[in-house]
Chain A
Amino acid sequence: MLKLPIYLDYSATTPVDARVAEKMIPYLVEKFGNPASRSHALGWDAEAAVEEAREEVARLVNADPKEIVWTSGATESNNLALKGAAQFLAGKGRHLVTVKTEHKAILDTCRELERQGFEVSYLDVRDDGLLDLEVFKAALRPDTIVVSVMFVNNEIGVIQPIAEIGEICRSRGILFHVDAAQATGKVVIDLAALKVDLMSFSAHKTYGPKGIGALYVRRKPRVRLTAQMHGGGHERGFRSGTLATHQIVGMGEAYRLARLEMGAENERIRMLRDRLLKGLSDIDEVYVNGDLERRVPHNLNISFAYVEGESLLMAIKDLAVSSGSACTSASLEPSYVLRALGREDELAHSSIRFTLGRFTTEEEIDYAIKLLHDKIGRLRELSPLWEMVQEGVDLSTVQWAAH
């Protein structure tokens, strides 16, 4: 039995894996101690669970547990990384470099830093969504203190050349932050090899709970940050606030499962994604957004030309998908990520992001293919533009009357 709507929005959030939820529950009920309580066993047990989870998170990305700082999520991690590093290094320089296709958590934080007197360069990407390393090198200045580039883009799934960017940053003594919220469990992350100084993680994009994330803070060479949340001095002073034990335990278990299962899981998901792409590629005028090779297997972002995006979303209500990222999908603006790829508004407007995951089935993919064939055909029948295109009119030459 197919459950509708079919969830194909795993980049917005993932279900908590049942094995993860099961590990979390005892820490809400009988093991509820405050990990900061030093005077009784309930506190120590909670602290031990927090440290075990820290080891699991570190293990997935080949880091030292002491390099993992808990936060409330990747958005907070990104804020702490960028503001914490920029404010700490303000005496050294005031220039940051990032990319136009970053998540809002980076872009909005950069805007705030600009208001605090920092200068930020927002780099263009190539039309395949990837950062051009020559463009990147040209943007670096003697006063550049921090670079932030996401590992995997949330809308188009492309994988940025993190290793290469890291080498460039390290050779120039620039701190390198990576938002890896969309990367864990999808690409291999080896922080012993990558020259990355700060990396943001989220649990709820990797089958863990919402409300918990982490920031990797490199110890060798040591990275220092100005704390953004002050209080009891938790997390070695990087981030104060009572640790949410059950959520931390959930993140640890989610990352442990990711480490053990990602190899096989990603192959299965790649087959499903390719099946979806193949099933849609016999529709006329469909365009894949972003490079298909340097991309996580979970993501397919497609523009259906001559179909109005909002009508399309309404027509395919049986599919839980998004037209941009969840965080910006409340607005009807076309995706700024797709526009940064050079997609004109019309194509950016008619795009759908399909993101597949652990619980996606072949049956669901086949249903989606059939539904899209059906609905896109019908929507195009109603479209005067499509009619003109079928008659051989080149729309770019048409003089539209102003209203």
Chain B
Amino acid sequence: MFAPVYLDHNASTPADPAVVEAMLPYLSAQFGNASSRHEYGRAARRAVDEARSKVAAAVGAHPTEVVFTSGGSEANNLLIKGAAACLKPGVLAVSAIEHPCVLKPAEQLERRGWTLDRLAVNADGRIDASRFAVAMGRKPKIVSVMLANNETGVVQDLELLAERARLTGAWFHTDAVQAVGKIDVDFRRLNAAGVHALTVSAHKIGGPKGAAALVLDKRIELEPLIAGGGHERGLRSGTENVAAIVGFGVACELAVQRRAALAQRLLKLRGELEHGLRGCGATLFGQAAERLPNTVYFAIPDVDGETLVGHLDRAGYAVASGAACSSANPEPSHVLRAMGVAPDLARGAVRVSLGYGNTAEQVAGFLIALQATVARLQGLTAMAV
């Protein structure tokens, strides 16, 4: 039994040993309910407060701007639906390449009288600036554009977009779950440019699943998604998941400490990976755009993505054929469709997302396994023809 080489960090990451160690006391002796007034409760409250400060510090926000949720999906739902509930229906603009947990709530609002504007991207996966300006002319009330895409890793120029959105008076949200820990994310600077809310998730950055945060400019009025008890300033009720929140705090701290060196190291690995992929005849998606240092999204013509990742899994390499959440869906990626990629090529899409534990040897090994698999699959195709 050998451990597979994990190259799917955009789907989820292992919790860092330091994160697990920090969580353990809250899964044993420090078990209080943070709302209890006795010492067990107060200890839990202190732990939640400390974690809140760490999460805030990691993204350049104030602790009072951090609202803990059960995950990135909930944070995105809370912002989109919560803000809409406090406004009269109007135009809602979200990029066409958003994660389903932004797109689906937006489609829900469409059923309740909102007009949904899907912001177009160009062939590189970047928001098309001139079409964005036109969309802003329709005076949206809520705009949501992800900072970095989970499939392509393409990073948007948010400050520029937010500046352009500013005159509309819209609430501007960004899903930054894939960006934190990989590129610099500074809510104060983004906020100054006109971004009002930002989502960050623990399990994408070496923290546990089950904790995330919506970082929120307090001018935004939100209706909570989950009522009952008034936790998190009334924006999110429910007993705090203390252990996961503590883990989230430590993961944020580590992500900031490691980011610069890690990004540099991953960029080098990504370069080697891309060099090898080109040698296999791969098409790299979004390669002309600024991308996360850890993500490579590619397709090899006439090789089915699902089949390829299946073979790679058996060879000991865990990669993804699309976003994890929609992997069960055999339709080609909505992100590639928005980029105008031909469906046949899109069906070949494979995502490699590197992380803290990956090494140059692993990348080299992956390329060898890939070459062998591709040769075999193409050989089979040739025989079938």
Interface residues of A (CB under 8 A from B): 5, 7, 9, 12-16, 18, 21, 24-25, 28-30, 32-34, 36-43, 72-76, 78-79, 103-109, 111-112, 202, 204, 209-212, 228-234, 240-247, 313, 317, 319-322, 326-330
Q: CA–CA, A198 to B33, complex, Å?
A: 26
| From B107, B239, B320, residue with most partner A Cβ within 10 Å | B239
From the candidates B3, B19, B101, B309, name the one contacting A39 in the complex (CB within 8 A): B309
Please give the distance in Å from A85's CB to the nearest CB on chain B. Answer: 15
Other contacts beyond A210-B240, A229-B74, A231-B105: 5, CB < 8 A: A15-B31, A37-B318, A40-B313, A322-B37, A328-B229
Q: CA–CA, A40 to B18, complex, Å?
A: 26
- 0/1 interface trace, chain B 72-89, chain A, CB 8 Å (1 if under): 111011000000000000
**B35:A330 contact, CB within 8 angstroms:** yes
Contacts of B6 in A (CB 8 A): 42
Does B200 reach chain A (CB closer than 8 Å)?
no
Please give the distance in Å from B10's CB to the nearest CB on chain A. Answer: 10
Q: CA–CA, A5 to B108, complex, Å?
A: 49
Known contacts A29-B15, A322-B38: A36-B328 contact under CB 8 Å: yes
Contacts of B39 in A (CB 8 A): 5, 317, 320
Q: CA–CA, A75 to B232, complex, Å?
A: 13
Contacts of A228 in B (CB 8 A): 77, 225
**B239:A321 contact, CB within 8 angstroms:** no
**B238:A73 contact, CB within 8 angstroms:** yes
List residues of B (1-42) whose CB comes within 8 Å of A's CBs.
3-4, 6, 8, 11-15, 17, 19-20, 23-24, 27-29, 31-33, 35-41
**B31:A30 contact, CB within 8 angstroms:** no
From the candidates B108, B226, B325, name the one contacting A76 in the complex (CB within 8 A): B226
From the candidates A29, A108, A240, A313, name the one contacting B14 in the complex (CB within 8 A): A29
| From A13, A103, A105, A229, residue with most partner B Cβ within 10 Å | A229
Q: CA–CA, A73 to B232, complex, Å?
A: 15
Contacts of A320 in B (CB 8 A): 32, 36, 38-41
- Smallest CB-CB separation from B310: which chain A residue? A39
Please give the distance in Å from A353's CB to the nearest CB on chain B. Answer: 11
Interface residues of B (CB under 8 A from A): 3-4, 6, 8, 11-15, 17, 19-20, 23-24, 27-29, 31-33, 35-41, 70-74, 76-77, 99-101, 104-105, 107-108, 203, 208-211, 225-231, 237-244, 306, 309-310, 313, 318-321, 323-328
From the candidates B3, B104, B237, B239, name the one contacting A231 in the complex (CB within 8 A): B104
**A24:B27 contact, CB within 8 angstroms:** yes
Known contacts A15-B28, A40-B4: A240-B226 contact under CB 8 Å: no
**A210:B101 contact, CB within 8 angstroms:** no
Please give the distance in Å from A58's CB to the nearest CB on chain B. Answer: 21
Please give the distance in Å from A121's CB to the nearest CB on chain B. Answer: 18
Contacts of B17 in A (CB 8 A): 29
Please give the distance in Å from B244's CB to the nearest CB on chain A. Answer: 5
From the candidates A7, A112, A209, A210, name the one contacting B40 in the complex (CB within 8 A): A7
- Smallest CB-CB separation from B68: which chain A residue? A211
Known contacts A21-B27, A24-B27, A34-B324: A230-B101 contact under CB 8 Å: yes
- Smallest CB-CB separation from B35: which chain A residue? A326
Contacts of A211 in B (CB 8 A): 70, 210-211, 241, 243-244
From the candidates B101, B107, B241, name the one contacting A232 in the complex (CB within 8 A): B101
Q: CA–CA, A78 to B228, complex, Å?
A: 9
- Smallest CB-CB separation from A237: which chain B residue? B104
A–B Cβ pairs within 8 angstroms, 12 of them: A5-B38, A12-B33, A14-B31, A21-B28, A38-B328, A39-B319, A41-B4, A212-B241, A229-B225, A244-B203, A320-B41, A321-B38
Known contacts A25-B20, A105-B229, A242-B12: A13-B33 contact under CB 8 Å: yes
Known contacts A108-B230, A109-B227: A247-B101 contact under CB 8 Å: no
- Smallest CB-CB separation from A327: which chain B residue? B229
**B227:A9 contact, CB within 8 angstroms:** no
**A72:B101 contact, CB within 8 angstroms:** no
**A104:B208 contact, CB within 8 angstroms:** no
From the candidates B33, B211, B228, name the one contacting A105 in the complex (CB within 8 A): B228
**B4:A42 contact, CB within 8 angstroms:** yes
**B242:A104 contact, CB within 8 angstroms:** no
- Smallest CB-CB separation from B321: which chain A residue? A39
Please give the distance in Å from B331's CB to the nearest CB on chain A. Answer: 13
**A38:B229 contact, CB within 8 angstroms:** no
Please give the distance in Å from B44's CB to the nearest CB on chain A. Answer: 8
| From A13, A43, A230, residue with most partner B Cβ within 10 Å | A230
Contacts of B20 in A (CB 8 A): 25, 28-29
Known contacts A32-B13, A76-B238: A39-B104 contact under CB 8 Å: no
**B37:A43 contact, CB within 8 angstroms:** no
| From A41, A228, A241, residue with most partner B Cβ within 10 Å | A241
Please give the distance in Å from B144's CB to the nearest CB on chain A. Answer: 13
Q: CA–CA, A112 to B81, complex, Å?
A: 14
| From A39, A111, A328, residue with most partner B Cβ within 10 Å | A39
Contacts of B24 in A (CB 8 A): 21, 25
Q: Which 4 A-B pairs have the closest CB atoms?
A: A211-B241, A232-B325, A105-B228, A231-B101
